[in-house]
Amino acid sequence: MHKELENFERNHVWDLVEPPPNCRPIGTKWVFKNKQGEDGMVVRNKARLKEEIDYEETFAPVAHLKAIRILLAFATSKGFKLQQMDVKYAFLNGFIEEEVYVRQPPGFESARFPDRSGFVMGSVDKTLFLLSRGGDTLIVQIYVDDIIFGRSSHALVSSFAEQMSREFEMSLMGELQFFLGLQSKQGLEGIFVHQAKYTRDILKKFEMGDSKPMTTPMSTNTALDADEDGKAMDQKEFQGMIGSLLYLMATRPDIQFSSSSGEAHFQLGPWYSSGSSLSLRGFSDADHAGCRIDRKSTSGTCQLLGTSLVSWSSRKQASVALSTTEAEYVAAASLYSQLLWMKATLSDFGLRFGRIPVQVDSTSAISVAKNPVLHSRTKHIDVRFHFLRDHYEKGDIDLIHVVSANQLADIFTKPLEFDAFTRLSGELGVIGWRCVDNALIKGEIESQWTGFIALLV
């Protein structure tokens, strides 16, 4: 607590003054947290002074998890390792235009901006900062007070770490190993990311460690209907389960084994190979009228940077599609909206793309996208989806037909048989790894395919 307030004074967060008449200062409160490492051990006790109410809207810089995966894929392709640091005492208020009065912290009565040092903020991702110097570029990604950074130039990385330590109280944590609950192992051949610790934690929390494992997330013969006569669940507990599973999908579109206690299955995750190219491509698919309740379709999409899976989605469409063609067309439009964001983000990394391949297994949906005339089959489709056709005419995308057997996004739309399921998940790069004789510390990794690889549909 003393160190937190010392850093407030050091960074000129406030001035002690008498409040004006009829002014009600904002209250404050202390928040305490034990920061844990990937082994679950407490590495530091942290104290944060927080406001009791917001004087207006306030925001902290929070990176998209897909932005973190893009950085991982880029770093491995360029052959440099990522480093990690943590701000011991976060300053999230920055500079404000309002005049705000705050009570002194209970028991203690009596940030500078990155571009000051030549950094450029990302044009789309406002948590991405880049510094170019002597033909080299340092890349920094922040998530509130957690920072990952890297470049092949050791001197530039060391200079940044020293500079941050001069400005703030920093914890230099070395190579990236444990970030936002994501565990990573960096080697000569690439980066492997998993959430084994988080998986164990949620199994323990919801008492599911002894649950029976299955070979696929859902049977192809199972239909989910509304259970109007069933016993009501604890909504808070149910929402907690769903939230935990959603965060587990940060590295695992395959979370079937979250209900199994098999150690190997906990350590499944995406593999980012150092031999991967930096070409951008996407796959889209749809399950027409798959929901038996409202007959809406499910869109499945995935985006790859070279061979590295960096983003994926499985969502029910907002409106009922009248045909398979319409459902596939809407799914392709959703895919390209995500590819546009990735294209803009990767431009900050210095990457430029021509026509981006969008792979669809519906020839009729491709024909609709290429046809500039709105006819009876498409005039009812929401106009926002027709931007797919607009970008095709501009030459931004290349619509490519892919046979259904090779449609990677098929796994995100509906339950599949075991053989198809394991084949597609393997092609998406979701694999399992094991360490031998402390080999990871030496920068070597031995791979091992696990018997079952699963994805959540």
**pLDDT over 70 at 216, yes or no:** yes
Does 95 fall in a domain? yes
Q: Are residues 156 and 286 in the same domain?
A: no
Environment class of residue 423 by beta-carbon count within 10 Å: exposed (0-12), middle (13-18) or buried (19+)?
middle
Q: Please tell me whether residues 377 and 263 are part of one structural domain.
A: yes
Kindly indicate the confidence band of residue 89, based on its pLDDT and cuts at 50, 70 and 90: low
Residue bearing the bigger pLDDT, 156 or 260? 156
Residue 207: what residue type?
A: E
Q: Which of 237-241, 243-247, 271-275, 449-453 has the lowest mean pLDDT?
A: 449-453
On whether both 175 and 201 belong to a single domain, the answer is no
46 & 160 share domain = yes
Of 180, 211, 243, the residue that ends a domain is 180
Any domain includes 455? no
Q: How distant, in Å, are the alpha carbons of 66, 196, 248, 270 from that of 241?
A: 22, 17, 11, 23
Q: Coil, strand or helix: which one is 277?
A: coil
Does residue 157 sit in the same domain as residue 202? Answer: no
405 or 210, which is more confident?
405
Asked if residue 443 is part of any domain, the answer here is yes
CA 27 to mean position of chain CA atoms: 34
pLDDT in tens, 131-173: 888 778 899 999 888 899 998 677 788 888 888 888 777 888 8
137 Cβ neighbours under 8 A, 6+ residues apart: 130, 131, 151, 350
Supply the pLDDT for residue 260: 36
| Domain co-membership, 296 together with 195 | yes
Question: How many domains does the chain divide into?
Answer: 2
Range of the domain at 91: 2-180
Report which of 84, 80, 85 is spatially closest to residue 153, judged by C-alpha positions.
80
| Comparison of pLDDT for 408 and 195, the residue scoring more | 408
